[in-house]
Amino acid sequence: MTTTVGVEPKFRPRREIVGGTSPEYVRISAASAMALSFRSGRFSRDFAFGGINLLLNYEDGCRSDCSYCGLARTRPGSYEDKSFIRVEWPLIETDVLVDRMAEKAETLTRLCISMVTSPFAYRDTLEITKRIRRKVTTPLSILVAPPTLNRTKLEGFAEAGVDMIGIGLDAVTEELFSKHRTDVPAGGAGLSWDKYWSVVRDSREIFGPWKVNCHTVVGLGETDEDLLEIFWRLAWMEVFAYLFCFNPEPDSRLGEAPKSTIRRWRRIQLAKRLVEEHGYSRGDFDFDASGALIGIRGARVAVEDVVDEGIAFMTNGCPGESGEPGCTRPYGSYRPSEQFRDFPFMPDVVDLAAIRGELDLGQLITEE
Ligand code: SF4
Split the chain (368 residues) into runs of 10 and give each run's mean pLDDT.
Answer: 35 50 95 93 84 93 85 63 64 97 97 95 98 98 96 98 98 95 65 95 98 98 98 98 92 89 97 97 97 96 97 97 92 81 96 96 86
Task: Report which protein residue has its CA nearest ligand 1's atom 4.
Answer: 318
Distance CA 138, CA 98 (A): 11
- How many of the other CB atoms lie within 10 Å of CB of 35? 24
| Radius of gyration for the alpha carbons in the chain, expressed in angstroms and rounded | 20
What pLDDT shows up at residue 335?
A: 78
Task: Report which protein residue has its CA nearest ligand 1's atom 5.
Answer: 166
Closest atom of ligand 1 to CA, residue 326: 3
The response to whether residue 55 sits with its C-beta less than 6 Å from ligand 1 reads no
With respect to residue 243, please indicate whether it lies within any of the assigned structural domains. yes
With respect to residue 2, please indicate whether it lies within any of the assigned structural domains. no
Sequence-distant (6+) residues with CB within 8 A of 81 are none
With respect to residue 50, please indicate whether it lies within any of the assigned structural domains. yes
With respect to residue 5, please indicate whether it lies within any of the assigned structural domains. no
With respect to residue 275, please indicate whether it lies within any of the assigned structural domains. yes
The response to whether residue 332 sits with its C-beta less than 6 Å from ligand 1 reads no
Distance CA 100, CA 138 (A): 13
Q: Which helix (H) or strand (E) covers residue 306, if one does?
A: helix 300-309
Number of domains in the chain: 1
- How many of the other CB atoms lie within 10 Å of CB of 38? 18
The response to whether residue 211 sits with its C-beta less than 6 Å from ligand 1 reads no
Domain residue limits at 267: 12-366
With respect to residue 26, please indicate whether it lies within any of the assigned structural domains. yes
CATH number at 247 reads: 3.20.20.70
What pLDDT shows up at residue 126?
A: 98
What residues pair up with 214 in beta bridges, in sequence order? 167, 241
Q: Which whole-number Å values give the CA distances from 133 to 102, 127, 318, 321, in the listed order?
A: 10, 10, 18, 15
Distance CA 10, CA 39 (A): 9
- How many of the other CB atoms lie within 10 Å of CB of 107? 14
